[in-house]
């Protein structure tokens, strides 16, 4: 499989080069030139273990890692999960939840980052690799966990200072290895992400420090997430059709589902759920993609107004017309707003969307707990709230459960004051020493910091 940029400005490259490039050198995102159709292989996927299924899917997109090595990278990536199914599907009342939080840092980010960390370690590097990440809370710890102890890799993680949950911050800052630097940015996640984008677009700096990207701009992350959509199908017993509700921030998780569907998986519709940061909900209801103020919520991993993977979706919807993508993105960058016309036949209607307030998601946590005893996290609750509202009752509804509830003490105490959530790995963090550096939301401050740490 070869990869190209959504903006048409890079020449075709194989998977490992796409992983190393991270963000396209023309400012776009890397996408595969074709999406293989596996409809006929679906029966064969039934009954495969998670790693075996991951190998079947990923090999279609990776032809520059020998198969036996790819297989062992995948096996190593999912050995660290605490459930034999890796992503078990559980029935809760009249919906299904796909639990994506059984990895080392308890969010769905581990599914992709355990794999990406192993791929980075596999690809030979000429100089020390400096991974730079922006996180709204969960990517940071998952990325650190994936490269911790790799002697040839440094990792720098920017998070919005004071805006992640306290345990999320501890998960990052208690890792005191010499190759880990946590940076609290005085701003929002969007500020972190825009600093990241501008550092990656300084190609000279990027090359000098051999920068690697672990955000969902990196295609490897999307690819690894495609797998669990197929695993839903297997666990549901090959339904004719099903719907998936996804709590969404950066449009990475749901976009992986979109790829799975394009490969022939019978997902009838995606229910995109946002919190009060509803740029994507507004887009899917009006066709207008317009930046708003970031509001801080109980589901901090979704406090995002500029969804980086959205550009990949546009590329496929515009039938690979990179000029159209460029025009849309440059209008958005310049004015903070861009539109498409939903009435033209080119846009499909596989996305329904809605948003949930903090109060609504807290109510949903309580409601599901009262009715079934199941405790879900505040991000999952956003997906369940919107999913229940918009579902087609004639089809199974699967909601992606994106994090372990114990990560979000503050919100969970509000929702279920009588319950104490104890999760062993998190408990151990409480009294650990931590280390972080706080920087202003300025590109140059972060660049200077990276330079100093590499001296
Ligand atoms: C990252 C994250 C999300 C948002 O996923 P996107 O891929 O950015 O849309 C939702 N929930 C949790 C718990 C997360 O960590």
222 three-class SS: helix
> Per residue in 252-266, pLDDT tens?
999 999 999 999 999
Quick one: pLDDT band at residue 349, thresholds 50, 70, 90? confident
Whether residue 389 contacts residue 243, with contact meaning beta carbons closer than 8 Å, is answered with no
Nearest atom in ligand 1 to 136's CA? 1
Mean of pLDDT over the chain: 95
First to last CA, the chain: 38
Q: How far is the CA of 243 from the centre of ligand 1 (A)?
A: 19
CA atoms 151, 157, 161, 165: torsion sign = negative
Nearest CA to ligand 1 atom 3: 301
> Per residue in 179-227, pLDDT tens?
999 999 999 998 999 999 899 989 999 999 999 999 989 999 999 999 9
pTM equals 0.95
> Per residue in 145-166, pLDDT tens?
999 888 889 999 999 999 888 8
pLDDT at 348 over 80: no
Region of poorest pLDDT, from 71-85, 333-347, 367-381, 432-446: 333-347
Q: How far is the CA of 175 from the centre of ligand 1 (A)?
A: 22
Q: How far is the CA of 68 from the centre of ligand 1 (A)?
A: 31
Region of poorest pLDDT, from 75-84, 238-247, 424-433: 424-433
Nearest CA to ligand 1 atom 1: 301
431 three-class SS: coil
pLDDT at 431 over 80: yes
pLDDT at 238 over 70: yes
Domains of the chain (ranges; CATH) run: 89-104+220-423 (3.40.50.1100)
Ligand 1 site-directed mutation target among 108, 284, 403, most atoms within 8 Å of CB:
108
Whether residue 110 contacts residue 171, with contact meaning beta carbons closer than 8 Å, is answered with no
- Residues having CB closer than 6 A to ligand 1 are 107, 109, 138, 216, 247-253, 301-302, 379, 402-403
Q: How far is the CA of 40 from the centre of ligand 1 (A)?
A: 31
Longest Cα pair distance anywhere in the chain, in angstroms?
61
> Per residue in 386-427, pLDDT tens?
999 999 999 999 999 999 999 999 899 999 999 989 899 899
Predicted pLDDT of residue 374: 98
Q: How far apart are CA 310 and CA 216, in angstroms?
A: 11
Quick one: pLDDT band at residue 347, thresholds 50, 70, 90? low
pLDDT at 346 over 60: no
Region of poorest pLDDT, from 55-69, 87-101, 109-123, 336-350: 336-350
Nearest atom in ligand 1 to 138's CA? 15
Whether residue 60 contacts residue 38, with contact meaning beta carbons closer than 8 Å, is answered with yes
pLDDT at 345 over 80: no
Predicted pLDDT of residue 308: 87
Quick one: pLDDT band at residue 293, thresholds 50, 70, 90? confident
Annotation marks residue 327 as catalytic: no
Predicted pLDDT of residue 166: 87
pLDDT at 52 over 60: yes
Quick one: pLDDT band at residue 342, thresholds 50, 70, 90? confident
Q: Which of 39, 109, 170, 447 is catalytic?
A: 109
Whether residue 255 contacts residue 309, with contact meaning beta carbons closer than 8 Å, is answered with yes
């Amino acid at each position: 499989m070869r990869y190209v940029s959504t903006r048409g400005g890079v020449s075709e490259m194989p998977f490992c080069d796409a992983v190393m490039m991270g963000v396209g050198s023309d400012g776009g995102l890397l996408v595969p030139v074709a999406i293989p159709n596996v409809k006929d292989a679906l029966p064969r996927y039934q009954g495969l273990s998670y790693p075996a299924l991951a190998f079947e899917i990923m090999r279609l997109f990776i032809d520059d890692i020998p198969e036996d090595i790819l297989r062992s990278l995948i096996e190593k990536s999912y050995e660290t999960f605490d459930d034999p199914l890796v992503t078990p599907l559980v029935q809760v009342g009249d919906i299904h939840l796909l639990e994506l939080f059984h990895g080392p840092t308890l969010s769905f980010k581990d599914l992709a980052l355990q794999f990406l960390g192993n791929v980075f370690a596999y690809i030979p590097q000429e100089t020390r690799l400096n991974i730079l990440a922006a996180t709204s809370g969960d990517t940071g710890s998952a990325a650190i966990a994936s490269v911790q102890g790799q002697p040839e890799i440094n990792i720098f993680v920017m998070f919005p200072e004071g805006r992640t949950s306290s345990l999320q911050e501890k998960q990052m800052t208690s890792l005191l290895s010499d190759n880990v630097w946590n940076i609290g940015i005085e701003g929002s996640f969007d500020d972190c992400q825009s600093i990241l984008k501008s550092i990656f677009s300084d190609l000279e700096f990027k090359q000098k420090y051999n920068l690697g990207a672990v955000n969902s701009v990196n295609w490897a992350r999307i690819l690894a997430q495609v797998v669990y959509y197929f695993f839903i199908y297997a666990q549901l017993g090959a339904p004719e059709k099903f719907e998936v509700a996804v709590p969404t921030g950066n449009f990475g998780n749901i976009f992986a589902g979109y790829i799975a569907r394009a490969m022939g998986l019978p997902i009838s519709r995606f229910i995109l759920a946002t919190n009060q940061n509803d740029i994507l909900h507004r887009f899917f209801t009006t066709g207008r993609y317009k930046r708003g103020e970031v509001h801080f919520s109980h589901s901090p991993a979704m406090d995002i107004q500029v969804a980086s993977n959205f550009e990949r979706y546009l590329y496929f919807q515009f039938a690979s017309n990179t000029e159209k993508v460029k025009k849309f993105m440059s209008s958005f960058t310049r004015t903070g707003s861009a539109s498409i016309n939903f009435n033209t036949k080119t846009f499909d209607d596989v996305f329904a969307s809605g948003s949930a307030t903090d109060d609504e998601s807290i109510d949903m946590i309580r409601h599901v707990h009262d009715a079934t005893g199941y405790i879900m996290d505040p991000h999952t609750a956003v997906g369940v709230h919107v999913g229940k509202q918009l579902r087609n009752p004639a089809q199974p509804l699967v909601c992606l459960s994106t994090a372990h509830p114990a990560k979000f003490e503050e919100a969970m105490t509000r929702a279920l004051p009588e319950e104490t959530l104890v999760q062993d790995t998190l408990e151990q963090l409480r009294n650990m020493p931590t280390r972080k550096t706080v920087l202003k939301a300025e590109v140059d401050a972060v660049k200077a910091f990276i330079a100093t740490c590499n001296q």
